[in-house]
């Protein structure tokens, strides 16, 4: 699969209106915000598809596989940035780490990342301003673009954090943010999610880890892991065509029956019936 790299801290790209996507599935080594200027179609990220409309904003994280299925001629605006850009921001290092963690886990929640209604209203004029400055060469246009991008990333981070299970806030303890990032990164690797393994990874006792995690997240670590995993499985069932056996294998369950048993315990229905109910609710 083709892999794109970004050698500058960030870049802006406004595409001409396209009738079809010129590329098949590909991955990036950087973050990419995709703004839909006009047109409709489907965005596929990691084999999960969802409709796009004008003024939708998607975030692709490093390693995501994606492509577009264009229904009506579409114009895309891309904002690409890497870790160097994030680290260069004049913010406290702790907040920079939290911002990076939030961005890296954004792909776990499919669809347009702007969900706050007031932010949706702000998004269009802000993006129009960025595009105008990008196309022009007026005095201080580079400084204005940099300011707009910083503001946009803050809005993106707010929307993502508001809908993440842990409700991360700016002042979340640095260690618990690292633990959450570790869990989310290894969510498909059951061996790495054992309490003993996590405690060794962070150099703290199992007893203290459990107390510390519950104090800061308001949820037991095992409950958090299973709820976070089931949230991702919900998205797979709704947005992908993967078979239940494939989802079970992806998330480290022994087999389809193992996933169905755990899923029914927490959701009250088996995955097949859950998928039917979700599909019916969106039509």
The answer to whether 70 touches 62, Cβ cutoff 8 Å, is no
- Angle ∠(159,165,169) on CA atoms, nearest 5: 55
Residue 65 shares a structural domain with residue 186: no
Residue 30 shares a structural domain with residue 157: yes
Residue 188 shares a structural domain with residue 256: yes
Report yes or no on 167 lying in a domain.
Answer: no
What's the 3-state SS for 69-123?
A: EEEEEEEEEEEEECHHHHHCCCCCHHHHHHHHHHHHCHHHCCCCCCCCHHHHHHH
Which of 74-88, 232-246, 266-280 has maximum average pLDDT? 74-88
State the average pLDDT over residues 227-248: 83
Residue 261 shares a structural domain with residue 196: yes
pTM: 0.64
Which of 47-51, 155-159, 252-256 has maximum average pLDDT? 252-256
Gap between the terminal Cα atoms of the chain: 34
Comparing 238 with 175, which gets the higher pLDDT? 175
Q: How far apart are CA 252 and CA 151, in angstroms?
A: 38
Q: Residue 207: give the domain boundaries.
A: 174-281
Give which of 189, 188, 210 is closest to 199, Cα–Cα. 210
- Structural domain tally of the chain? 2
The least confident of 135-139, 171-175, 231-235 is: 171-175
Confidence at residue 81, expressed as pLDDT on a 0 to 100 scale: 86
Report yes or no on 249 lying in a domain.
Answer: yes
Q: What is the pLDDT of residues 215-231, one digit of tens each?
A: 888 889 999 999 888 88
Residue 269 shares a structural domain with residue 138: no
Which of 112, 128, 162 is the last residue before a domain boundary? 162
Determine what percent of the chain is predicted with pLDDT higher than 90: 40
Q: What is the pLDDT of residues 73-129, one digit of tens each?
A: 999 999 998 877 776 765 555 556 556 666 766 655 568 889 888 999 999 999 999
State the average pLDDT over residues 243-252: 90
Residue 152 shares a structural domain with residue 27: yes
Report yes or no on 158 lying in a domain.
Answer: yes
Whichever domain contains 229, its CATH number is 1.10.10.60
Whichever domain contains 112, its CATH number is 2.60.120.10
Confidence at residue 244, expressed as pLDDT on a 0 to 100 scale: 92
CA-based max dimension of the chain: 63
């Amino acid at each position: 699969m083709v892999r794109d790299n970004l050698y500058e801290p960030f870049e802006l790209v406004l595409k001409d209106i396209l009738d079809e996507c010129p590329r098949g599935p590909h991955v990036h080594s950087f973050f990419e915000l995709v703004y839909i200027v006009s047109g409709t179609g489907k965005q596929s990220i990691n084999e999960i598809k969802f409709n796009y409309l004008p003024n939708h904003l998607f975030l692709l994280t490093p390693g995501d596989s994606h492509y577009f299925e264009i229904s009506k001629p579409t114009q895309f605006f891309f904002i690409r940035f890497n870790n160097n850009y994030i680290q260069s921001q004049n913010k406290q290092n702790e907040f920079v780490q939290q911002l990076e963690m939030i961005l890296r886990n954004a792909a776990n929640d499919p669809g347009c990342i702007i969900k706050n209604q007031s932010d949706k209203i702000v998004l269009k004029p802000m993006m129009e301003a960025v595009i105008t400055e990008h196309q022009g060469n007026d005095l201080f246009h580079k400084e204005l673009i940099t300011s707009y991008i910083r503001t946009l990333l803050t809005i993106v981070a707010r929307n993502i954090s508001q809908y993440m299970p842990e409700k991360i806030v700016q002042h979340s303890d640095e260690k618990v943010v690292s633990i959450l990032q570790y869990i989310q990164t290894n969510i498909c690797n059951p061996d790495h999610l054992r309490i003993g393994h996590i405690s060794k990874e962070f150099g703290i006792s199992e007893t203290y880890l459990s107390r510390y995690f519950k104090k800061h997240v308001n949820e037991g670590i095992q409950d958090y892991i299973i709820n976070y995993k089931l949230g991702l499985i919900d998205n797979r069932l709704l947005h992908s065509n993967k078979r239940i056996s494939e989802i079970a294998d992806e998330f480290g369950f022994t087999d389809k029956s193992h996933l169905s048993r755990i899923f029914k315990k927490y959701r009250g229905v088996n995955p097949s019936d859950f998928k039917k109910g979700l599909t019916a609710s969106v039509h």
